[in-house]
A and B are shown apart, each in its own frame.
Chain A
Amino acid sequence: MRLQRLQINGDRIEVAAPSHWTLLEVLRYRLGLTGSKQGCDKGDCGACTVLIDGKPVLACLTLSALCEEREITTIEGLLPAHLRSGGTGPDPVQDAFDRCGALQCGFCQPGMMLSARALLNENPAPSRAEIKDALAGNLCRCTGYTQIVQAVELVVAEAAGSEPEPPAWAPNANPWKNGCAKNGHEEPPARATDNGEGA
């Protein structure tokens, strides 16, 4: 057991943990930061991805005792960091994943969004191939990845003020254009129900 001084999501934290604990164990079982997921626990899946000094790495293979003096960002830190840098609401990556339905069970999402955020910080206008490359270490067993890539493309397009490409499954009716109800975007069109009244 030893005292570790960690810098997590902008906070300086002192935590006592054994030397053989991974960063993922310290985050989840000492600090209650359960946003970083424990998937395979051996480097295969990317669910435990966190940013260390801005770069996505795997918390399940990182010894927390070696993380002192490094800047750690977990999914819990994404929204506060966005607010600190003058933004409103969630990080645009979180917002776009939400609006695009880029998740089903959600287990891969924290890691996926951190990899996407790190990519966009480094390269604000990545190509589709660059997006796929950057997310290659984050496995998703649910979505089939299409909406995940679209979500990142939506962030890129909106930041550039250009119109996002319509998704392959709705080439003629671009759903991003109408936006969704969440986070200050337009309400979705009312849906007809069986009794003929709007939902």
Chain B
Amino acid sequence: MLRLPKFELENPTTVAEAVALLARHGDDAQVIAGGTDLVPNMKHELFTPDVVVSLAGIAELRGVCVRDDGTVCIGAMTTLDDVAASEPVRARALAVTQAAALIAGPQLRRMGTLGGNVMLDTRCQWYNQTHFWRQALGFCLKKDGTLCHVVEGGGKCVAAASNDTAPALMTVGAVLVFHGPDGPREVPIDDLWHPDGIYNKKVRGELLTEVRIPPRADDGTRLLGAYGKLRERGSIDFPLFGVAVRLDVDANDTIQDADLCSVALQARPVRLKKMAELLRGVTLGSDAFQDAVATCAAQAAKQCRPLANVPGDADYRHAMVPVYVRRTLLAAAAGSGPVHHI
């Protein structure tokens, strides 16, 4: 039986009230959205805030809308289920809907939100454990201790970003809207991350209110995308490796641009390098496409070095990197994503 540590619960009904509460309580407060990450973490005594500020009562944070200029705006409290089923999001960010649909299990997708997924704490098999367990092993850097169990002698936490929607949102250049005491500001998702497993975001203490997918360039290209996810059980688990693909193809099915981003490797989601260079100018279905896909997969295997931070054998995860990159690229081209093993 796991009990929550004591806290006071605040239930604001507007963004302004929530922002004021966060400003007043500073580091003593923590935001709760769906609670599917925060509640287990609090039960494990990884977070023991005095005040928990719930966003459940803020109606303006829920739902998807499309602006006149084509920007798709997703409220931070929109559930993963609703993101997965959203037609505007699917049309503009296929990898995002596919990633959302593969997160956790059905009950958790109904409770968990997109905002909570973006702001998810990093994960590590030596960290996401009860206080008793962590104490028995010896506390680590990320919480209460001074050493890392993953990298011997390591002075930096390498707990893994494990949020499936993050790499998918990166491939479509999503923009995050944060509200603080000074009002709202926009942060491109690429600029959110900080490569430190203890806290992997550059924004702290502000409220994420909206995730925006900017309009696509009017260049006549078509968007293709897919998400590939390796996990232990197809029904519920966090990613052991995740890769999101975006391909922009012209009327002749020739790739004009491409982006591949991955997750569950290190503290921040990582953009795979040189992928656009390898894929640009290649026509889907051609022999050159098959060759380019194989080269991308081999390149990805060189760039990605899974660590013993999340469960699953690191060598096995490494061997799966080229497999998932290849299959997810092919699935994006064929429109047959997502890629997962069940």
Chain A residues with CB under 8 Å of chain B are 18-22, 25, 38, 41-44, 46, 49, 55-58, 60-63, 65-66, 115, 133-134, 136-137, 139
Contacts and interface: CB of A to CB of B under 8 A. Distances in A.
B26 interface: no
B272 interface: no
A136 B8 CA distance: 34
10 contacts: A18-B6, A19-B8, A38-B1, A41-B1, A42-B2, A43-B36, A58-B36, A61-B39, A63-B32, A137-B104
Interface stretch (B106-114, B165-173, B245-253, B274-282): B106-114
Nearest to A135: B106
Contacts of B44: 42
B133 interface: no
Contact of B110 (A19, A55, A63, A133): A55
A146 to B, nearest CB: 15
A1 B32 CA distance: 19
Interface of B: 1-9, 11, 32, 35-36, 39-40, 43-44, 52, 54, 56, 104-108, 110-111, 235-236
Contacts of A42: 2, 39-40, 43-44
A114 to B, nearest CB: 10
Contacts of B39: 22, 42-43, 60-61, 63
A136 B340 CA distance: 15
Given A22-B4, A56-B110, A137-B236, 5 more contacts: A19-B7, A25-B3, A57-B107, A65-B11, A66-B11
Contact of A20 (B4, B104, B106, B235): B4
- Interface-central residue, A20, A41, A60, A65, by most chain B CB under 10 Å: A20
A133 B2 contact: no
A20 B7 contact: yes
A60 B108 CA distance: 11
Contacts of A20: 4-7, 9
Contacts of B52: 19
A5 to B, nearest CB: 14
Contacts of B43: 41-42
- Which interface residue of B5, B32, B108 has the most chain A CB atoms within 10 A? B108
B11 A134 contact: no
A65 B107 CA distance: 19
A134 B106 contact: yes
A116 B7 CA distance: 35
CB-based closest 6 A-B pairs:
A137-B105, A136-B235, A19-B9, A42-B40, A41-B2, A20-B4
A62 B110 contact: no
A21 B42 CA distance: 12
B18 to A, nearest CB: 14
B54 A66 contact: yes
B40 A61 contact: yes
Contacts of B54: 63, 66
B222 to A, nearest CB: 29
Contacts of A134: 106
Contacts of B105: 46, 136-137
Contacts of B1: 38, 41
B4 A21 contact: yes
A43 B103 CA distance: 13
